[in-house]
Amino acid sequence: MKLATIRTASGTRAVRLDGEALVDLGYPDLGAWLAAGSPAASAGAAAYSLEGADFAPVVPNPSKIVCVGHNYTNHIKEMGRELPSYPTLFPKFADTLLGANDPIVKPPETDALDWEVELVIVIGRKVRRARGTEAEAAIAGFTVMNDVSVRDWQFRTIEWTQGKIWDSSTPVGPFVTTPDEVGGVRPALVVSTTVDGQVMQSDNTGTLLFDPVFLVEYISTLITLHPGDLIATGTPAGVGHARDPKVYLVGGETVVTQIEGLGRCTNTIVTDA
């Protein structure tokens, strides 16, 4: 099943993909729908056309967004780091999120804007200290994120957060795809980024150092995970910052971040709002 949050003339709506139609699930967004226990759409529910749909962030206001750094071996090596024993975690906030096809405004304060395609876990039920089958059952599905990074601010200190939390910088969507459609809760999916058609990143989520179930177990040990929370699992090799010479987004580019079976975010970089 594929799920989304779309923008309509009367506000955002949680929907389920049914052929070329988006069936209204009766809630304003997927976060609210998941919190209500993921009920089925009512008979005679409204439907919207998939063509021309305006996708909002899949969960517009998650209680938390936890991101994982250094989780693909090739990316760890390109950044000159050793393989970690534990996940490297940092936060994002709801104000960073964009819809899958929204433009990304390049902040005037940076000349080091970078791309990072990521598999994102969407939490479907409240869990704390989840283990095994409980952690697996907490995964409602997966989606795509471009964890756009402001590298010059990220590396001002040894702590990365200030390079990761820029307002309206992070596309996520367009769909949440349930695990049964992508091979389960430890999917092996091709993940890629292109910039103006040139392949910049290509890998497989099966090579994640810390897999989705482990991440739910680990993060839920620290803090309660709620329905609609997002866990971004890290990016593979090929980021602009690690290239020689470095390559950054300057404005005018089209960036496509895509994961097999999940869909793609297609975003144009603009230099003013």
Output the DSSP codes for the chain.
-EEEEEEETTEEEEEEEETTEEEE-SSSSHHHHHHTT-PPPPTT--EEESTT-EEPPSSSS-S-EEEEES-BHHHHHHTT-PPPSS-EEEEE-GGGEE-TT--EEPPTT-S-EE--EEEEEEE-S-BSS--THHHHHTEEEEEEEE--EEHHHHTTSSS-GGGT--TT-EEEEEEEE-GGGTTSSS---EEEEEETTEEEEEEEGGGBSS-HHHHHHHHHHHS-B-TT-EEE----S--GGGSSS---B-SS-EEEEEETTTEEEEEEEES--
Residue 194: predicted pLDDT = 98
Measured between alpha carbons, how far is 9 from 28 in angstroms, rounded to an integer? 12
**First vs last C-alpha separation in the chain:** 35
Residue 7: predicted pLDDT = 98
Q: Both tokens of residue 219?
A: 């993060």
CATH T-level fold of 1-56: SH3 type barrels. (2.30.30)
Residues 6+ apart with CB under 8 A from 222: none
Residue 73: predicted pLDDT = 82
The pTM of the full predicted model, rounded to 2 decimals, is: 0.96
For CA atoms 57, 58, 61, 66, give the dihedral sign: negative
Q: Where in the chain is the domain with CATH 2.30.30?
A: 1-56
Q: Which pLDDT tens digit goes with each residue over 52-62?
A: 999 999 999 99
Is residue 174 reached through a cis peptide bond, with omega within 30 degrees of 0 on the bond before it? yes
Residue 273: predicted pLDDT = 58
Q: Which residue has the tokens 């496509």?
A: 256
Residue 257: predicted pLDDT = 98
Domain 59-270 has CATH 3.90.850.10: yes
Sites in the chain below the pLDDT cut of 70: 273
